[in-house]
Amino acid sequence: MKNQIKTFLRYREFIKELVIKGVKLKYRRSYLGVVWSLIEPLLTMIVLTVVFGTLLGNTDRTYPVFILCGRLLFSMFSTGTNSAMRSISSNAAMLKKVYVPKYMFPLSSVLFNYVIFLLSLIVLIPVSIVLKVYPTWNLLLALLPLLNILLLTLGVGLILSTYAVFFRDLEYLWSVLLTLIMYISAIFYQPTKLLESKYAAILQYNPLFCIIDNFRSAVFSSEFNWGNMFYSLGFNVVILAIGLYVFRRNQDKFILHI
Amino acid sequence: MNNDVAVKVSDLSIKFNLSSEKIDSIKEFVIKTLKGEIKYDEFWALQNINFEINRGDRLGILGLNGSGKSTLLKVIADVYKPTEGKVYKKGKVVPLIELGAGFDPQYTGRENIFLYGSVMGMKRSFLTEKYDEIVEFSELERFIDVPLKNYSSGMRARLGFSIATVIKPEILILDEILSVGDAKFRKKCEGRIADLIETGVTILFVSHSIDQVMNICNKAMILDKGKMVAFGPADKVAKYYNERIVA
């Protein structure tokens, strides 16, 4: 344990460089650069609002903010896990030639996507102002779901990055699963109806929904569901522990498969 | 143990599983496991390697292609885990197994200096301080803000060598890297290695050029099909290599 902390400190510069690299390269050679992390969720929000709001007759004024919250958190989860999953094979050249702690790659992938995600949260400010959703002190509670989403993405990312080394098909399978997860996380529909039906468990036991729900409560200053918060925190810690365990157990075999 | 020992390898063996077909899809894995069709050909890349070198020793590793030279270096550099046996080393190891492993092609030369440096565990402040020296040695001043993908392989190797040798390593691992670049740069590299030798660095050196080994090394070993067949003073081992293995 002491040794691991020492190695981590020795390589903290490296992880910093990897995170900077991820952020820098994501938008390199595009004209608008990092502004895209604001425009993109904004555009998706408009599309979803038109489709689910106007066409399906959802007239709630604050609906775009509702969508935006869900969409931002979900895309953190999906881009973070995807990029962690590919991190080992895309850094194969380096892993074959020099020693670096291998968990640096999934960790930095999740972290740089998290940085971009935090930046993209800025877009909530103008949208909320325009739609007259004013924050109260409750907004501070948003820090909890923001921590939770990081833990969840990291845990799932570690598991995926381990098994994607041995089974390349995981990449395709995961993109299908992500679609499923998107539909069961109440991103563009109101969860109330589903929560009252017999399928409520789908949402209640879905840690990503719990996170999104907590975040929305903080933004809209509605009642904060502590049950959801603690459930997802517990879930995420367990997933992260599993992720660390499987990664550690298999990391020495990576080199033979990449 | 002797205080001066820099690298000690004891009973080291490395086994690879050469599966006849690589299985990397879940479907294949399930089907083949059910049918009991997964077979591995065991292949011992290194067997029972034992040696010890002291601080300041320069060990040349000779052998034909596929004899396990690079595998040995990679075990010492922690890239591979030993299947059996132990590797003990003392001091900061800098592996130059391939120059510029850790470069990003989309990054410019300047950005890659900081990236590659951090792979080697260098601090940013240290790299900023040494930045001019690195660029000057690589002679890439004009191209330093060009993305690396536009570099030639020689330019890439020059940048890699300049970064990796700016830190004063205690153990330097060189895998045939002195054979890259043009004659002029090669000479410059050899000069820098000579400087490092004077500071008392321990070197593990793989090369197919016996002259280079004789120039740089004081000790040498011969690997043949994963086994160590000779170990001793460089001139004697090189002579043996010329007479018995190459001929």
pLDDT level of residue A54 (50, 70, 90 thresholds): confident
| Phi, psi (degrees; rounded to nearest 5) at B7 | -135, 130
Q: Domains in chain B, ordered, with CATH?
A: 5-246 (3.40.50.300)
Instruction: Please report whether residue A60 resides in a domain.
Output: yes
Query: How far B221 CA sits from the closest chain A CA (Å)?
Result: 22
Of all residues in chain B, the one with the smallest CA distance to A7 is B121
Q: Given this model, what pLDDT does residue B37 score?
A: 67
Tokens of A157: 């990312």
CA distance B199 to B177: 21
A167–B24 CB contact, under 8 Å: yes
Q: Given this model, what pLDDT does residue B144 score?
A: 94
Determine contact: A253 vs chain B, CB below 8 A.
Answer: no
pLDDT level of residue A87 (50, 70, 90 thresholds): very high
- Rounded to an integer, the average pLDDT of A153-179 is 95
A99–B79 CB contact, under 8 Å: yes
Q: Given this model, what pLDDT does residue B189 score?
A: 85
Q: Given this model, what pLDDT does residue B182 score?
A: 80
> What whole-number percentage of chain A has pLDDT above 70?
100
CA distance A86 to A106: 8
Treating both helix axes as pointing N-terminal to C-terminal, what angle do A104-120 and A12-26 enclose, rounded to 10 degrees? 50
Query: How far A16 CA sits from the closest chain B CA (Å)?
Result: 9
Strands of B40-54's sheet in order across:
B40-54, B5-19, B84-89
| Length reported for chain B | 247
DSSP letter (8 states) at residue A9: H
Contacts of A100 in chain B (CB under 8 A): 119
Residues 6+ apart with CB under 8 A from A102: A88, A95, A247, A251, A254
Instruction: Please report whether residue A22 resides in a domain.
Output: yes
B115–A17 CB contact, under 8 Å: yes
Determine contact: A25 vs chain B, CB below 8 A.
Answer: yes
Instruction: Please report whether residue A72 resides in a domain.
Output: yes
Question: Does B217 or A257 have the greater pLDDT score?
Answer: B217
Q: Given this model, what pLDDT does residue A113 score?
A: 96
Query: How far A188 CA sits from the closest chain B CA (Å)?
Result: 33
Q: Give yes or no for a contact between B195 and B202, defined as CB atoms under 8 angstroms apart.
A: no
Interface mutation target, options B119, B148, B171, chain A, most CBs of A under 10 Å: B119
Contacts of B25 in chain A (CB under 8 A): 167-169
Q: Distance of CA A119 to CAs A33, A113, A132, A151, Å?
A: 13, 10, 22, 18
Task: Give me the interface pTM, i.e. the ipTM.
Answer: 0.82
Q: Given this model, what pLDDT does residue B20 score?
A: 55
Mean pLDDT by 10 residues, chain B (247 residues): 82 81 71 71 88 92 89 91 91 80 88 90 90 92 93 87 85 79 83 88 88 89 91 91 79
Residue written as token pair 């004009």: B142
Of the candidates A41, A35, A21, which has an alpha carbon nearest to the alpha carbon of residue A187? A41
Largest Cα span, chain A: 59
Contacts of B29 in chain A (CB under 8 A): 166-167
Interface subset of A 143-172, CB within 8 angstroms of B: 166-170
Q: Given this model, what pLDDT does residue A96 score?
A: 87
A28–B24 CB contact, under 8 Å: no
Query: Is A169 a residue whose pLDDT tops 60?
Result: yes
Q: Given this model, what pLDDT does residue B1 score?
A: 52
Query: Is A140 a residue whose pLDDT tops 60?
Result: yes
CA distance B67 to B3: 31
Question: Does A254 or B167 have the greater pLDDT score?
Answer: A254
Contacts of B119 in chain A (CB under 8 A): 14, 94, 98, 100
pLDDT level of residue A118 (50, 70, 90 thresholds): very high
By Cβ distance, the residue of A10, A98, A255 closest to B80 is: A255
Dihedral of the alpha carbons of B123, B127, B130, B133, in degrees to the nearest 10: 140
Determine contact: A249 vs chain B, CB below 8 A.
Answer: no
Instruction: Please report whether residue A1 resides in a domain.
Output: no
Interface subset of A 78-97, CB within 8 angstroms of B: 93-97
**Number of inter-chain CB pairs under 8 A, A vs B:** 71
Could you read off the pLDDT of B75-125 as tens digits, one per residue? 998 888 899 999 998 888 888 877 767 788 889 999 999 998 888 888 889
Q: Distance of CA B246 to CAs B63, B66, B122, B222, B233, Å?
A: 9, 14, 41, 11, 18
Q: Given this model, what pLDDT does residue A6 score?
A: 85
Amino acid at A31: Y
Q: Give yes or no for a contact between B188 and B181, defined as CB atoms under 8 angstroms apart.
A: no
Vertex A84: Cα angle to B105 and A27 (nearest 5) = 45
B101–A96 CB contact, under 8 Å: yes
Q: Give yes or no for a contact between A62 and A127, defined as CB atoms under 8 angstroms apart.
A: no
A252–B81 CB contact, under 8 Å: yes
Provide the domain limits for residue A52.
Answer: 11-254
Question: What residues of B are in the A interface, CB distance below 8 Å?
Answer: 16-17, 22, 24-27, 29, 77-81, 95, 97-98, 101-102, 104, 106-107, 111, 114-115, 118-124
User: How many folded domains does chain A comprise?
Assistant: 1
Q: Give yes or no for a contact between B226 and B47, defined as CB atoms under 8 angstroms apart.
A: yes
Q: Given this model, what pLDDT does residue B21 score?
A: 60
Provide the 10 A C-beta neighbour count for residue B66.
13
Q: Give yes or no for a contact between B246 and B63, defined as CB atoms under 8 angstroms apart.
A: no
CA distance B77 to B94: 8
CA distance B157 to B151: 10
DSSP letter (8 states) at residue A27: S
- Rounded to an integer, the average pLDDT of A135-152 is 95
Instruction: Please report whether residue A4 resides in a domain.
Output: no
Query: How far A99 CA sits from the closest chain B CA (Å)?
Result: 5
Q: Given this model, what pLDDT does residue B170 score?
A: 87
- Rounded to an integer, the average pLDDT of A72-96 is 94
Rg (CA), chain A: 19
